Structure 1
Amino acid sequence: MHIGVLEDDPSQCELLLALLEDGQHTARGFGFAETFRDGIQRETFDLLLVDWNLPDGTGGEVIEWVRANVGWHLPVVVVTAEEEEQTVVDALKAGADDYIVKPPKPLELLARVNSALRRSRPNALEILRVGDYEVDIQRERLSVSGTPVTMTQKEFDLAVLLFQSIGKILSRDHLLDKVWGRSADVDTRTVDTHVSRLRRKLSLDGSRGWKLSPVYGFGYRFDRISN
């Protein structure tokens, strides 16, 4: 999974990134709340780790911004040296899903991160197998008949959403919100462009028994077709 880390201490940030990568996650670090908010709007993260005391704000303010602008589906874990009970309460009230006191214990950190990810995706399978397609959600890999497909992060995120929604009609606005976030500076034409690329890269034209079709004036539907 891809994780965003907000930590103003460079050595602490480097440690957290290393621990997450040891746990087979990818991660990106930010030192300021402002750049963190910008990053969230430009990049899709599966979970956020947030320090409490920051040069340009507090962890509570950041979490409240995430809940107001991104939503409640994105897990947020506070990682801080603050041990006071009131700070823990404030973090949870702001919308944090968990709270870890520094220095983090490597195995505990990964266990809590993975637990938060599972809670946020209770119905998600780590590997989806649909016909010739295999989607490894944890490792962010998609293959067709055993051959890996090169994809951008957004293309993969969009593919996962489609493969988890077989037979459902999905609006362009829904796809935009889930993959890019409601605050992203893009429009539904971006969705159309990515859908077109996926259809081509994955042969979702019916030739492999699966078809990604437009629903006029609304969005798309991903279905199995009869030969």
Structure 2
Amino acid sequence: MKLAVVDDDPDLASYIQEAMREFGHSCDIFPTGAKLLAARRRDTYDLLLLDWDLPDVTGLAILGQIRSDPSDQTAIIMLTNQSDKDAITQALREGADDYIVKPETAPVIAARIEAVLRRTQQGPSKARFVDFGDYRFDRLNEDVSIAGQAVTLNSKEFALAVLLFENMHRPLSRSYILEAVWHADPHLPTRTLDMHVSRLRTKLGLRPENGYRIAAIAGYGYRMEQFLEGDPA
């Protein structure tokens, strides 16, 4: 999973970053709310560890801004020194998924993150078969069929297709996809992703009339979109 730590304490942020990497999570650090918001315009994060008190804005203000968009389902855990139960209750009511009172150990932080991701269903499904309309994906054999007709995809095409379908209507940045599918340097300039998207569009017939399409988001990445019967193409 790709995480962001938003905290102006560099020692604490680095501690969390290194600890989360040991638990298999990619983790970026931002010392201010403004830097986080700028990064979110070009990248995707599964979960934010958001400090209550930032130099430029409160964590609650950032929380409120993110939760004002109903389509933005990013998981958020508040990092706080607060012992005020009323304040913590307010954050949870305004959309925080959990909170951690600092300081805390790495195993506990990791466990809280994994629990939140399970609850918010950010983690990928582990079921062998995943169905989206006429599309069926078999994780075990990396097979895909459309209305019962087999379609041949290579391993990376299969992984990319499942990632996009499972994140329906969620914008995914290029760096997020490269890390998730290719485990590559997210800043590596490559047209590999674009070529794979083009192949998926052709092989899977991803067009509005077939119910799904991959939309390119200029300067950001891609999003899978579903069209229900009667929706304008």
Tell me the TM-score normalized by structure 1: 0.66
Alpha carbon RMSD of aligned pairs, Å? 3.4
Structure 1, residues 94-114: CA drift from partner, whole Å, max 9, x if none?
211101011122111111100
Contact 2:4/2:48 (<8 A) preserved: yes
Looking at structure 1, the residues matched to 55 and 163 of structure 2 have their Cα atoms a distance apart, in angstroms, of 36
User: Identity of aligned pairs, percent?
Assistant: 23
SS for the counterpart of 1:57 is coil
Judged with a 3 Å threshold, the aligned counterparts in structure 2 of structure 1 residues 159 and 195 are, in CA distance, closer, same or farther, namely farther
Correspondence list, 1:49-198, <5 A:
49-69=49-69, 71=71, 73-121=73-121, 124-126=124-126, 130-131=137-138, 133=142, 149=156, 156=160, 159-162=162-165, 164=166, 175=169, 178-180=170-172, 197-198=196-197
Structure 2 regions of 5+ residues with no counterpart?
130-136, 144-152, 174-192, 215-223, 225-233
In structure 2, C-alpha distance between the alignment counterparts of 1:43 and 1:70, rounded to whole Å: 18
Residue 69 of structure 1, CA deviation: 3.6
CA distance 1:46–1:34, shift in 2 (3 Å)? same
- Counterpart residue type for residue 111 of structure 2: A
Conservation of the 8 A alpha-carbon contact between 2:80 and 2:101: yes
Where does structure 1 lack aligned partners over 5 or more consecutive residues?
135-143, 166-173, 182-193, 223-227
Distance 2:103 2:120 in 1: 25
Q: 1:220 aligns with which of 213, 221, 229?
A: 213
Tell me how many residue pairs correspond in the alignment.
178
Write the letter of the residue equivalent to 1:66. I
Q: Which moved more, 1:123-132 or 1:32-41?
A: 123-132
Q: Is the 8 A contact 1:159 1:198 kept in 2?
A: no
> How many Å apart are 1:30 and its aligned residue?
0.3
SS at match of 2:21: helix
In structure 1, the residue matched to 2:42 is 42
- How far residue 212 of structure 1 moved from its aligned partner, in angstroms, is 3.5
Q: Which amino acid letter does the alignment assign opposite residue 160 of structure 1?
A: L
Contact 1:59-1:78 within 8 A present in 2 as well: yes
Identify if the C-alpha distance between structure 1 residues 75 and 116 changes in structure 2 by more than 3 Å, giving closer, same or farther: same
1:12-56 per-position Cα deviation (integer Å, ceiling 9, x unaligned): 110111111111010111000111111122111111100001100
TM-score (norm 2): 0.64
